[in-house]
Chains A and B, each alone.
Chain A
Amino acid sequence: MRFQFVLGEVFSGLRRNTTMVVAVVLVTFVSLTFVGAAALLQAQISKLKDDWYDLVEVSVFLCPEGSVAPTCAGGEATDAQVDAVRQIIDTELTDEVSKVYFESKEQAFEAFSERYPDGYQGTQLTADDMQASLRLKLSDAEQFAVVSDVLSGRDGVEIVEDQRAVFEPLFRTLNVATLLAAGLAGVMLLAAVLLITTTIRLSAVSRRKETEIMRLVGASNLFIQLPFLLEGALAAVLGSLLAGGGLWLAVRFMVSDWLERSVDWVAYVSEVDVLRVAPLLVIMAVALAALSSFFTLNRYTRI
């Protein structure tokens, strides 16, 4: 009966404040959509990293003939220099580097010819135009800086290059988009808190007589405040569900159905990721409502 009574109060409150409740639902919907979008962008980034970082390596380019790098003063890297570098990798970088192989000029030319069978932009290159390198597979792609520190400046090493650098502009763009979404989400979340606060306050004022009598007959604080709490929480949770649904639809139709078909060699976020984000959105909604209630209730429905 207690439960039923509280529920009855909640729904009568929702009915009395329909416009405000709709506003709360919409604002939480929009703000949490931005939160979700930011989360999905991050998920997308980590997906791409997982996918691509496995394919990329660190290239330790060995001195070619005629390089101006100070470490290449002795001309083309000698076998002794290469061995010395390999030695260092084996001893100092055992944890960071999982695999090493040597790519000779000929192998480099083969790979190059495979990729550009008709020559590169009209030029005709030979194996001598290629550069020999040590290819390192890192056990953790994030360890590049360590590897680079150790190997740069060794004799016979012209430059240490991280192939990941190719992706940086894309990731930077995605990160900026995430920040943007998060920023908008922040502003909207603030609006949501203010709106929920106002809604609870209006609701409390419109039920002042009831709460006054509840206080006088000895209803507990929780009992008096619960309907208001639930009202705010219900509206906010509804908004978060809408946000989750909106994101799901967006991913389903824009990513899975469209992007994946037009650009199919990229791993995209999927509905599964949305399902993973959605509970967080609901939790955030509850937290929002709780926060707003905390600021409002003690002032308006005190014993």
Chain B
Amino acid sequence: MIRFENVSKVYARGARPALDQVSVDVERGEFVFLVGASGSGKSTFLSLVLREQRPTRGHVYVAGRDVANLSAWRVPTLRRQLGVVFQDFRLLQNKTVHENVAFALQVIGKPRHAIRDTVPEVLDMVGLAGKGKRMPTELSGGEQQRAAIARAIVNRPQILLADEPTGNLDPTTSLGIMRLLDRINRTGTTVVMATHDDEIVNEMRRRVVELSDGVVVRDEARGGYGEREAILPDVGASPVLDSPGSGTRAPVQTVRGV
């Protein structure tokens, strides 16, 4: 469904590559977690799938098509097969939930009766039945993310990309969102989710692809989040935290799976 072949992405000439020789193959119907420290290239990975960016080297295939060489006027066709959700929901604040979801269909020219039928169904599916008339500001964070997910899947995409969808939510709400994504995945939709949420990853036990400085360092079929780097460097007994040299991280030994 998604295949990266030796993909490198360098944003600015001379800069360190955001992705470096990445090769990943995601099958139809899979659920993949994309994990890694901040700046490791997770969002870049997703934007290459969306063709918001083009790879500097290598090939990205989405649903059998070479995305990098897709001509501009075909990009909309590609994106209609993809759904995306973000950490910040990106709902239009001046539209109701219903209008937000309908918007995604309107702008690709779906007929009105189709919109009238599908939008309530999808709202129902994501657990927002009866909340279609609310404005985004009248929803909780979890509900807003459900609305965003509804918008992403209303056109029945084959692939759902999620960039830290639970990043702004508390653990309980996050769990609800994960159940929803899991349910969507079980209907046959391929889901790729970038996340920092170790609890979720450990709980779900799905395929985990870990990036580190743009390199795939782990690709595990039923993996866990892996070890976190210490938030504060272990400075031992040193009484002065910001003494010279304390900023350099102690090398962390993590056990990498296959």
Identify the A interface with B (CB < 8 A). 1-2, 5, 209-210, 212-221, 223-224, 303
Contact = CB atoms under 8 A, between A and B. Distances in A.
A210 B76 contact: no
Interface string B69-109: 00011011111111010000010100000000001101111
B90 A218 contact: no
Given A221-B73, A223-B109, 5 more contacts: A210-B103, A213-B103, A218-B155, A224-B107, A303-B75
A57 to B, nearest CB: 65
A220 B75 CA distance: 8
Given A212-B90, A213-B92, A218 B80 contact: yes
Interface centre among B73, B104, B107 (most CB of A within 10 A): B107
17 contacts: A1-B106, A1-B109, A1-B111, A2-B109, A209-B90, A209-B92, A210-B92, A213-B103, A213-B107, A217-B80, A217-B104, A218-B77, A218-B78, A218-B155, A220-B76, A303-B72, A303-B76
Contacts of A214: 107
Nearest to B83: A217
Contacts of B108: 217-220, 223
B70 to A, nearest CB: 10
A202 to B, nearest CB: 17
Nearest to A5: B106
B50 interface: yes
B122 to A, nearest CB: 13
Contacts of A217: 79-80, 103-104, 107-108, 151, 155
B112 interface: yes
Contacts of A219: 76, 107-108
A218 B112 CA distance: 18
Find the residue from A1, A2, A216 having the highest chain B CB count within 10 A. Answer: A216
A214 B106 CA distance: 9
A99 to B, nearest CB: 66
B79 A218 contact: yes
Contacts, number: 59
Nearest to B95: A210
Nearest to A220: B76
A109 to B, nearest CB: 82
B76 A221 contact: yes
Nearest to A302: B72
A214 B109 CA distance: 11
B239 to A, nearest CB: 50
Nearest to A210: B92
Given A216-B50, A216-B84, A218-B77, A223 B72 contact: no
A219 B79 CA distance: 8
Nearest to B77: A218
A216 B151 CA distance: 11
A122 B197 CA distance: 113
Interface residues of B, number: 25
A224 B81 CA distance: 18
Contacts of A218: 75-82, 108, 155
Contacts of A223: 107-109
A214 B84 CA distance: 12
A214 B115 CA distance: 16
Can you list the 4 inter-chain pairs with the closest CB atoms, starting with the nearest?
A218-B79, A218-B80, A219-B107, A217-B104
A119 B108 CA distance: 87
A250 B90 CA distance: 53
Contacts of B77: 218
Nearest to B90: A213
Nearest to B103: A213
Contacts of A220: 73, 76, 108
A217 B85 CA distance: 11
A221 B108 CA distance: 10
A220 B76 CA distance: 6
B161 to A, nearest CB: 10
B68 to A, nearest CB: 14
A220 B71 CA distance: 13
Contacts of B92: 209-210, 213
A1 to B, nearest CB: 4
B125 to A, nearest CB: 18
Contacts of B73: 220-221
A216 B152 CA distance: 9
Nearest to A2: B109
B115 to A, nearest CB: 8
B172 to A, nearest CB: 28
B250 to A, nearest CB: 41
Nearest to B154: A217
Contacts of B81: 218
A217 B82 CA distance: 8
B73 to A, nearest CB: 7
Contacts of B103: 210, 213, 217
Contacts of B90: 209, 212-213
